[in-house]
């Protein structure tokens, strides 16, 4: 009896638990109804029994038909779904490859077969198509589909290594649409003639007209060649509009228009240079125009004769910069900056001045000059100096300063400066404009809304966001030269510059100009003459600049390791575990330039702070600044440096050689074109 009520022995429609419970419930209710009816009357009971039997018969048949129809529908639906899956797997325009643990192809769908000429099942992926095998291997850890190029098509590739299945969807059509969209994005640029006003100052009207017509015609032809729209805004200002693909073509040619105009105008004894700021990557034309102007300002701040290409939020790319910036013929700006500095000092409760970390003579001399200007205006000025890592010449200078108690008392540590600074204090950054290399980056962060910059290096991409006054003149020999010019416009009743300050500033000029041989203009000699008349001591300068025996021997040891790249660039590198003084490194780079045939020199050494330093020098024909910027540094066209963390000297040497050889190859290709 128990076996009779087992699920297998029941009618198929009662095998469903829900149907069984409904049936039992109906039988129970019917039985109770019949019993109560018979208790009332046997005639009504018989009638009730007949009605219940007939009703249950029809209900059970109905349940049977419902269950049968449902099962038939589900079976048909399952069949159609499975058939659809099979058809989709075979017919859908998505390639599928199934492989085993040995990377042998077990199955591919018919769509994927069209991409292979021969039978591939049973063969290894790498034997069938090495490129496809490499793409699968490189992207097997990707969690989302990646776009790859294979067999002149673009595919969306997804690898499921757990199931050993590869999916390939041809997205060439959509990739071309996206590529066209990217190529046709608008670029906007400003072209400025750096020295047009100075060049045309002594020209006749016809000469000015001829020069302007030539430059405009040359820029117009260049713009037309690359499909750019060019509009003359002013005598020395032009606007260009174009597409992203145009910019890529121009960058491949490295903005050769700069060289064309510079060389051709130089032949006419009117050397005109261009500065260009190009912006891209934004659909808002107003933002694009602002960014283009900002890029132009950056190009001018770096000395002109170059191009800055930059999108918002991305790293700038630099081109040109092959000439040293021309010296300006007016002192008006120096006077205006001097007066503005006076006003800022008078509005501040105290002044802090700091140079870059591990200061040189130009940096510390500039600090002493700013302190003197502050004192001439009746203001307290503190020189921020970390005396933990100093060059020998700076230590000699500090020893001499011990005899000047007032100056000594105003040289404070980084911690003291951070404690003294208030919201009304003024911070003057000298001989640098990068906050990350400041003597105290924390002091900068505290006073970042009250910062003035005085520097002679070309402006880099890293720059304070909201300086209240900027005085960057790349044409100047040194920061000490710029500050010396300000003394002429200071109050006469103040105490004048003293001997040690004048000596330190003149030493800074002499060091940065390599004894008045590099980046020297007429104003450099004017500044030196003023400092000399203020008491600068030549004997004391020689004392500061003396070289000890160990440094001399180290320099000769580094020179003995010299190797040549492209027969024009000399490279020296120290040992991976030998620390060299940065002054020795710089002096070695200077010494290499004295060798015949050397246009540029690079010296790589381990520094005492654990970083690897590179000192780069050139005679002016090779832009070492661009090379150092690619390694995270900066400087001048002929004098630049960088420090690299977490690498050995050997690794940095290989990286630099690769960079120099790549640059040399690009120059050769450009010359051939």
Q: How many helices (H) and strands (E) does the chain have?
A: 25, 23
**81 and 206 assigned to the same domain:** no
Cα(269)–Cα(197) distance, integer angstroms: 15
Cα angle 473, 476, 477 (rounded to 5 degrees) comes to 145
- pLDDT of res. 226: 93
Quote the pLDDT of residue 53. 81
Check pLDDT > 90 for residue 440: yes
Give the pLDDT score at 488: 85
More confident position, 340 or 41: 340
pLDDT band at 441 (very low <50, low <70, confident <90, very high): very high
pLDDT digits 0-9 by tens, 136-158: 888 888 888 888 988 888 899 99
Which of the four pLDDT bands, split at 50, 70 and 90, describes residue 380? very high
The per-residue pLDDT for 217 is: 94
Question: Within this chain, do residues 645 and 523 fall inside the same structural domain, yes or no?
Answer: no
For the chain, the average pLDDT equals 85
Instruction: Tell me how far apart the alpha carbons of residues 145 and 128 are, in angstroms, rounded to a whole number.
Output: 22
Model confidence at 1, pLDDT cuts 50, 70, 90, reads: very low
Structural domain that includes position 165: 92-177
Decide if 643 contacts 357 (C-beta within 8 A): no
Instruction: Tell me: do 537 and 426 sit in the same domain.
Output: yes
Q: What is the pTM of this model?
A: 0.62
Q: What is the mean pLDDT of residues 354-368?
A: 93
Residue 303 included in any domain: yes
Long-range contacts of 409-416 (CB under 8 A, 24+ apart): 410/371, 410/380, 410/381, 410/382, 410/383, 411/382, 411/383, 411/385, 412/382, 412/383, 412/384, 412/385, 413/384, 413/385, 413/386, 413/387, 414/384, 414/386, 414/439, 414/440, 414/442, 414/443, 416/382
* Domain-embedded: residue 326: no
Give the DSSP letter string of 184-230.
T-EEEEEEEETTHHHHHTT--HHHHHHHHHHHHHHHHHHHHHTT-EE
Tell me, yes or no, whether 410 and 316 share the same domain.
Answer: no
Confidence of residue 71 (pLDDT cuts 50, 70, 90): confident
Task: Say whether both 384 and 347 belong to one domain.
Answer: yes
Find the CATH number of the domain harbouring 204. 3.30.70.270
**At a CB cut-off of 8 Å and minimum separation 6, what does 13 contact?**
19, 63, 64, 66, 67, 68
Q: Would the CA dihedral through 479, 485, 491, 496 be positive or negative?
A: positive
Task: Band the pLDDT of 349: cuts 50, 70, 90.
Answer: very high
Rounded Cα–Cα distance for residues 500 and 536 (Å): 7
Coil, helix or strand at residue 32:
helix
Same domain, 527 and 516: yes
Task: Answer for the pair 468, 451: CB distance below 8 angstroms, yes or no.
Answer: yes
pLDDT one-digit tens code per residue, 622-653: 888 888 888 888 777 778 889 898 899 999 99
Domain limit, last residue, from 148, 177, 206: 177
- 146: which strand partners? 157
pLDDT, residue 330, reads 56
What pairing do the DSSP bridges indicate for beta strands 306-311 and 274-280? parallel
Structure-block tokens of residue 80: 């159609």
Where does the pLDDT of residue 119 fall: very low under 50, low under 70, confident under 90, or very high at 90 and above?
Answer: confident
Summarize pLDDT for 565-617 with one digit per residue, the tens: 888 899 999 999 999 988 788 889 988 988 888 889 999 999 888 899 999 99
Q: State the pLDDT confidence band at 424, using cuts at 50, 70 and 90.
A: very high
pLDDT at 4: 40
d(CA 610, CA 647): 9
Distance, CA of 574 to CA of 612 (rounded, Å): 10
Q: Is the dihedral of CA 574, 576, 580, 583 positive or negative?
A: positive
* C-alpha atoms less than 13 angstroms from C-alpha of 645 in its C-beta half-sphere: 2
pLDDT score for 38: 78
**Sign, Cα dihedral of 666, 669, 671, 673:** negative
pLDDT-derived band at 5 (thresholds 50, 70, 90) equals very low
Question: Total domain count for the chain?
Answer: 5
How far does the chain reach from its first CA to its final CA, in angstroms? 101
Residue 165 backbone phi and psi in degrees, to 5: -130, 140
Q: Measure the CA–CA gap between 636 and 614, rounded to whole angstroms.
A: 14
Q: In terms of pLDDT, which residue wins out, 13 or 376?
A: 376
> What residues contact 231, with CB distance under 8 A and at least 6 apart?
238, 239, 240, 241
Q: Are residues 307 and 194 in the same domain?
A: yes
CA distance 427 to 408: 19
Mark whether 440 and 529 lie in a shared domain: yes
Picking from 128, 157, 177, the residue at the C-terminal end of a domain is 177
Identify whether residues 462 and 566 lie together within a single domain: no
pLDDT score recorded for residue 83:
67
Among 142, 159, 177, the domain-final residue is 177
User: Model confidence at 666, in pLDDT bands (50, 70, 90)?
Assistant: low
Whether residues 356 and 448 share a domain: the answer is yes
Same domain, 353 and 252: no
Residues 138, 159 share a domain: yes
Q: With respect to residue 100, please indicate whether it lies within any of the assigned structural domains.
A: yes
Label the pairing between strands 563-565 and 186-193: unpaired
pLDDT at residue 329, rounded to an integer = 42
How far are the Cα atoms of 430, 512, 535 from residue 371, in angstroms, in the given order?
12, 21, 17
Where residue 214 falls among pLDDT bands split at 50, 70, 90? very high
Residue 487 φ then ψ, to 5°: -60, -30
Tell me the CA distances in angstroms from 258 to 243, 528, 613, 637, one per residue in order: 20, 34, 32, 16
Please tell me what DSSP assigns to residue 614. E
């Amino acid at each position: 009896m128990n076996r009779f009520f087992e699920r297998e022995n029941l009618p198929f429609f009662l095998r469903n638990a829900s149907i069984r419970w409904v049936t039992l419930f109906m039988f129970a209710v019917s039985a109770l109804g019949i019993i109560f009816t018979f208790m009332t009357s046997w005639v009504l009971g018989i009638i009730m029994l007949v009605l219940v039997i007939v009703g249950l018969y029809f209900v059970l048949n109905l349940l049977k038909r419902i269950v049968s129809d449902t099962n038939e529908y589900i079976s048909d639906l399952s069949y159609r779904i499975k058939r659809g899956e099979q058809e989709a797997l075979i017919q859908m325009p998505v390639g599928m490859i199934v492989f085993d643990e040995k990377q042998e192809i077990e199955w591919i769908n018919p769509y994927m077969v069209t991409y292979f000429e021969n039978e591939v099942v049973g063969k290894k992926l790498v034997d069938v198509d090495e490129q496809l095998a490499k793409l699968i291997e490189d992207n097997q850890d990707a969690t989302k589909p990646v776009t790859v190029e294979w067999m002149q098509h673009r595919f969306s590739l997804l690898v499921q290594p757990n199931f050993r299945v590869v999916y390939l969807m041809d997205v060439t059509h959509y990739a071309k649409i996206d590529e066209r969209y990217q190529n046709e994005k608008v670029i906007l640029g400003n072209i400025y003639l750096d020295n047009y006003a100075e060049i045309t100052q002594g020209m006749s009207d016809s000469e000015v007209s001829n020069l302007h017509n030539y430059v405009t015609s040359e820029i117009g032809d260049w713009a037309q060649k690359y499909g750019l729209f060019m509009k003359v805004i002013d005598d020395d200002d032009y606007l260009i509009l174009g597409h992203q693909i145009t910019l890529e073509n121009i960058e491949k040619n490295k903005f050769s228009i700069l060289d064309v105009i510079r060389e051709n105008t130089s032949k006419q004894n009117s050397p005109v240079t261009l500065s260009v700021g190009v912006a891209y990557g934004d659909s808002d034309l107003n933002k694009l125009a602002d960014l283009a102007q900002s890029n132009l300002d950056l190009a001018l701040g770096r000395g002109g004769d170059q191009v800055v290409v930059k999108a918002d939020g991305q790293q700038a790319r630099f081109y040109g910069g092959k000439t040293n910036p021309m010296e300006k013929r007016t002192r008006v700006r120096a006077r205006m900056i001097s007066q503005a500095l006076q006003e800022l000092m008078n509005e501040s409760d105290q002044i802090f001045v700091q140079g870059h970390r591990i200061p040189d003579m130009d940096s510390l001399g500039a600090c002493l000059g700013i302190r003197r200007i502050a004192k001439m205006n009746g203001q307290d000025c503190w020189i921020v100096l970390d005396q933990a890592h100093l060059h020998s010449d700076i230590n000699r200078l500090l020893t001499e300063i011990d005899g000047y108690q007032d100056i000594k008392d105003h040289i404070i540590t980084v911690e003291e400066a951070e404690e003294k600074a208030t919201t009304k204090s003024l911070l003057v950054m000298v001989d640098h404009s990068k906050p990350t290399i400041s003597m105290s980056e924390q002091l900068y962060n505290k006073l970042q809304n009250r910062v003035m910059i005085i520097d002679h290096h070309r402006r880099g991409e890293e720059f304070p966001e909201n300086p209240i006054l900027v005085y960057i003149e790349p044409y100047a020999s040194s920061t000490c030269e710029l500050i010396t010019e300000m003394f002429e416009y200071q109050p006469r009743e103040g105490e004048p510059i003293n001997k040690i300050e004048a000596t330190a500033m003149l030493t800074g000029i002499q060091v940065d100009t390599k004894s008045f041989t590099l980046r020297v203009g007429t104003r450099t000699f004017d500044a030196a003459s003023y400092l000399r008349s203020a008491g600068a001591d030549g004997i004391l300068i020689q004392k500061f600049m003396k070289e000890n025996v160990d440094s001399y021997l180290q320099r000769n040891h580094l020179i003995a390791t010299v190797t040549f790249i492209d027969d024009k660039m000399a490279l020296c590198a120290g040992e991976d575990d030998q620390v060299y003084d940065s002054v020795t490194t710089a002096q070695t780079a200077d010494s290499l330039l004295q060798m015949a045939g050397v246009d540029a020199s690079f010296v790589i050494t381990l520094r005492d702070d654990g970083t690897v330093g590179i000192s780069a020098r050139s005679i002016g024909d090779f832009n070492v600044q661009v090379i150092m910027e690619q390694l995270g540094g900066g400087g001048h066209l002929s004098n630049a440096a960088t420090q690299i963390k977490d690498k050995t000297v050997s690794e940095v040497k290989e990286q630099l050689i690769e960079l120099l050889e790549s640059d040399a190859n690009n120059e050769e290709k450009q010359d051939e074109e």
